[in-house]
Every structure is written in structure tokens, then in C-alpha cells.
Amino acid sequence: MRIIFATNNANKLAEIQHELGDDFELVSLSDLGFKGDIPETGRTLEANALQKANYIFDRYRAPVFADDTGLEVSALDGEPGVDTAHYSGSRDADANIKKLLGELRIKDNRSAVFKTIIAFVTENEKKLFAGEIRGHIAESKSGEQGFGYDPVFMPEGESRTFAEMSVEEKGKENHRVRAFRKFIEFLKGSY
Ligand code: IMP
């Protein structure tokens, strides 16, 4: 079965292809020659993941999935949420972290959750899969690995940030892996 992964991230695609095995052939946006921007105007992760998958489905009429991830901080009423990638007004990870630490300076509750939503769209169905990991936002940055908010996100039960873990360690349990595990199980059981 051929499935489009509505992403330009070659690393993400390779990881999921590895998990899926040979029965499924993942096709990326660049494989399709798609160069534009996919609109992402929803105010929830679910709406954005569905919007991306629907947009590509309407264009290519082939099974497609899209993912969307956000960091929800309790003391900030769930912000940055859908604005996670550009919280500071730019996509610069340092600027985003700086803004987050500033917003939390006078807050006691530093609980946060990373959430990933995957939307799968075919001619016959639309399905959502969710994965999350709870944790808290550290007082300052630690670690050099990873990307995004990794230097300040400490998963529950850990005394290290994601950025202090090896790629393999972070890869064992995180929001994205948990969502993709559910999606892959569904695909293998249904197709
Ligand atoms: P995306 O939907 O996968 O593009 O993720 C949106 C934004 O969430 C990214 O630009 C990062 O800022 C942040 N993000 C997603 N996953 C992670 C993660 O595993 N660690 C740290 N930040 C992440």
C-alpha cells in the first residue's frame, strides 16, 4: 500500500518507514514534487493535522497522513499549543525557549505536556491518533541533544531534560513515538 506522509522532514519519514516495513510504501511531499505551503490555520492540533491531511488528499486523492505537535503548559492555559513552533514570533528555538521561561518566571506550577496528533485520511475514512508525554519545564536550559524545547522539557520521572538524553533514549518514549505506535498498529491491523 502506498501512503503519502504530508511532511518535508526526511528523518521523520525514514523512521516511520522503518517501523512500517515493506508492506507500506511511504511517499513524501518532495517525492510528489509538492513545493507549496500547506495551510495550517486551525486553533487545535487536531484541526491542523486534519487540515494538512485533507489538503493533500484533495490534491492527490490517495491515502495520506499528517502530524502536528504542540507543547501545552498548564500555568499558561495550554499555551503555546498550536503556536509552539513560532511562540516567540519566530521559529528560532532559543527565542521560543526564552519566551517560555520568561512567561513562567513567576509561576509555581511548571507542568507541561507534549502532544502529537496524527490525522489519516483516505477515500473512506478520517481517523485521528494521539500520543502525549507529561513532564515539566525546567528553570533553565540543559543539554545539547535534540531540537525545539528539548533543553527545558523534563519528562515525568526523569531528572534530565530531553536534550540531556541520547537520540535512542529519547526515541523510546515520547509524544510522537506514542502517537505513531498507535497509528502503525492500526495500519498493520487494517490494511
Ligand atoms: P511539528 O508539528 O512536529 O512541526 O512540531 C511543532 C513544534 O513543536 C516544533 O517546531 C518544535 O518547536 C516543537 N517540538 C515538536 N516535537 C518536539 C520534541 O520532541 N522536542 C522539542 N520540541 C518539539
pLDDT digit string, tens, across residues 161-181: 999 999 999 999 999 999 999
Instruction: Tell me, rounded to whole angstroms, the distance of Cα 179 from its chain centroid.
Output: 9
Residues of the chain above pLDDT 90, percent: 97
Ligand 1 centroid vs 48 CA: distance in angstroms?
A: 14
Ligand 1 centroid vs 59 CA: distance in angstroms?
A: 26
Count CB-CB contacts under 10 A for residue 185.
11
> The C-alpha cell of 76 is what?
499558561
Atom of ligand 1 lying closest to residue 69 CA:
2
Nearest residue (by CA) to ligand 1, atom 13, is: 148
> How many residues comprise the chain?
191
Mean pLDDT, to the nearest integer, of 58-66? 98
Sequence ranges of the domains in the chain: 2-190
Nearest residue (by CA) to ligand 1, atom 11, is: 148
Give pLDDT, residue 14.
Answer: 92
Which amino acid makes up residue 6? A
Among 39, 29, 37, residue whose Cα is nearest residue 60:
29
Q: State the pLDDT confidence band at 134, using cuts at 50, 70 and 90.
A: very high
Count CB-CB contacts under 10 A for residue 100.
22
Ligand 1 centroid vs 148 CA: distance in angstroms?
A: 6
Alpha carbons 71 and 127: distance in angstroms, whole number: 22
Ligand 1 centroid vs 40 CA: distance in angstroms?
A: 15
Give pLDDT, residue 72.
Answer: 98
Nearest residue (by CA) to ligand 1, atom 17, is: 148
Nearest residue (by CA) to ligand 1, atom 20, is: 150
Among 86, 72, 4, 9, residue whose Cα is nearest residue 40:
86
Mean pLDDT, to the nearest integer, of 142-167? 97
- CB-defined site of ligand 1, < 6 Å: 68-69, 84-85, 146-150, 162, 174
- With a threshold of 0.75, does the pTM exceed it? yes
Report yes or no: 48 and 69 within 8 Å, Cβ to Cβ.
no
Give pLDDT, residue 107.
Answer: 97
Among 81, 91, 140, residue whose Cα is nearest residue 154:
140
Give pLDDT, residue 119.
Answer: 98
Give pLDDT, residue 177.
Answer: 96
Q: State the pLDDT confidence band at 38, using cuts at 50, 70 and 90.
A: very high
Fold of 2-190: Maf protein (3.90.950)
Atom of ligand 1 lying closest to residue 162 CA:
20
Give pLDDT, residue 135.
Answer: 98
DSSP 72-83: EEGGGTT-EETT
Q: Alpha helix (H) ranges present in the chain?
A: 10-20, 45-60, 93-103, 167-172, 175-190
Nearest residue (by CA) to ligand 1, atom 23, is: 148
Give pLDDT, residue 172.
Answer: 94
> Pick the catalytic residue: 37, 58, 67, 68?
68
68 is catalytic: yes
Ligand 1 centroid vs 126 CA: distance in angstroms?
A: 24
Give pLDDT, residue 92.
Answer: 98
Count CB-CB contacts under 10 A for residue 124.
6
pLDDT digit string, tens, across residues 72-129: 999 999 999 999 999 999 999 999 999 999 999 999 999 999 999 999 999 999 999 9
Counting Cα atoms < 13 Å in the Cβ hemisphere of 57 gives 18
Count CB-CB contacts under 10 A for residue 9.
12
